Chains A and B, each alone.
Chain A
Amino acid sequence: DTEVTQTPKHLVMGMTNKKSLKCEQHMGHRAMYWYKQKAKKPPELMFVYSYEKLSINESVPSRFSPECPNSSLLNLHLHALQPEDSALYLCASSQDTGTPNQPQHFGDGTRLSIL
Chain B
Amino acid sequence: SQKIEQNSEALNIQEGKTATLTCNYTNYSPAYLQWYRQDPGRGPVFLLLIRENEKEKRKERLKVTFDTTLKQSLFHITASQPADSATYLCAPRNTGGFKTIFGAGTRLFVKA
Complex Cα distance, B98 from A101, in Å, reads 11
| Residues in chain A near residue B105, CB distance under 8 A | 42
Tell me if A103 counts as interface (CB < 8 A to partner B): yes
| Contacting pair B43 A45 (CB below 8 A) | no
Q: How far is the CB of B75 from the nearest CB of chain A, in Å?
A: 15
A106 touching B99 by the CB < 8 A rule? no
A14-22, A48-56, A64-72, A74-82: which one contacts chain B?
A48-56
Contact of B103 with A97 in the complex, beta carbons under 8 Å? no
Q: How many residues of B contact A (CB 8 A)?
A: 25
Report A-chain residues with C-beta under 8 Å of the C-beta of B34: 103
Please name the 8 residue pairs, one residue from A and one from B, whose CB atoms are nearest each other, closest first: A106-B43, A103-B46, A42-B102, A97-B98, A100-B93, A48-B98, A108-B43, A101-B32
Q: Is the CB of A56 within 8 A of B43?
A: no
A104: interface (CB < 8 Å):
yes
Give chain B's interface secondary structure class: loop
A31-B98, A41-B104, A100-B97 given; A92·B89 CB < 8 A: no
- For residue A49, give the distance in angstroms from its CB to the closest CB of chain B: 9
Give the chain A neighbours of B7 by CB distance below 8 A. none
Closest to B43 in A: A106
A41 partner residues in chain B, CB cutoff 8 A: 104
Complex interface: chain B residues within 8 A of A90 (CB): 43-44
Starting from the known contacts A42-B105, A106-B45, 7 additional A-B residue pairs (CB-CB under 8 Å) come to: A2-B43, A42-B102, A45-B99, A55-B98, A100-B31, A103-B46, A108-B42
